[in-house]
Structure 1
């Protein structure tokens, strides 16, 4: 018996690279399309960093109440939805589009931000980009 590591399976979202968390959540073509659209909508410049550092960066860069919550929602919802998409492909052979995921995440963030107690204190730019009344 040999002690060679087993090869990693290809990414279920792009089928071109070895799957690992950093690739799946940030480097994959599918993930990048989702991130680009959401970051443009949120008017956020996201640095190219490994996924393990993303939470630290977001909490340091955005440390005012509602902005922090928006960044936490953006990061958490996007990673969660990317993982869900990966699992649906693996278990159910169901393939969603990046556009559908972008729409779902946008609706999720808008709904969550719209229920915050601090909604009245939310900057108009934030209310406008997420279409919060």
Structure 2
């Protein structure tokens, strides 16, 4: 009846078995460049378009999530803890790189990398909003601890937790 659309290659990255729905929605919006960053808001004298995390450059998706000094430190911390080897690419480049490495079946290593991506994007967006609307921010350490706790919680609650490889169980302290 209706024309079939091509499948979305980001689907396994965004909607993996460990996903948190609200984080996946923010990741989906960010992947489409649809979050209301300052570069998308009409400019006038009242709008300060400076990044709320670093206060140095104009805010855009690429800057906010990957080029901002605050975000870069968060990513360094998360990728080191999660034992992820990601290239230093702009936003769309990283999504393309992840798409090329995703498999339909997936595995815990991939799911953790996808969860790290969605959790980090979500928490950076929340931190940006906290600073924009509440004039209240967190330290990098506190934000990273929140992200890592979120990832660990998702792993702990997974019904196949016993199937998680030993290395990942040690990294994420999943042993009872």
With normalisation by structure 1, the TM-score equals 0.87
Larger helix percent: 1
Confirm or deny: 8 A CA contact 1:66 1:118 kept in the other structure. Answer: no
1:70 counterpart (99, 104, 112): 112
Q: 1:23-102 maps to which residues of 2 (within 5 A)?
A: 23-61=63-101, 63=103, 64-102=106-144
Can you list the C-alpha shifts for 1:73-127, whole angstroms capped at 9, x where unaligned? 1000000000000001110001111100110001000000111123112111111
- After TM superposition, the runs of 4+ consecutive aligned structure 1 residues lying more than 6 A away are none
Residue in 1 aligned with 2:167?
125
Moved more, 111-120 or 29-38: 111-120
Moved more, 53-62 or 109-118: 53-62
For 2:57, the equivalent position in structure 1 comes to 17
Question: Structure 2: which 5+ residue stretches go unaligned?
Answer: 1-41
Number of residue equivalences: 129
Separation (CA, whole Å) in 1 of partners of 2:95 and 2:167? 23
In the alignment, structure 1 segments of 5+ residues that lack a partner are: none
Looking at both structures, which has the greater relative contact order when contacts are Cα pairs under 8 Å and sequence separation is at least 6? 2
Kindly report the root-mean-square deviation, in angstroms, between the aligned alpha carbons of the 2 structures: 1.9
The 8 Å contact of residues 58 and 68 in structure 1, kept in 2 or not, is answered as no
Query: 1:114 is matched with which residue: 152, 156, 159?
Result: 156
Query: 1:37·1:102 contact (CA, 8 Å) conserved in 2?
Result: yes
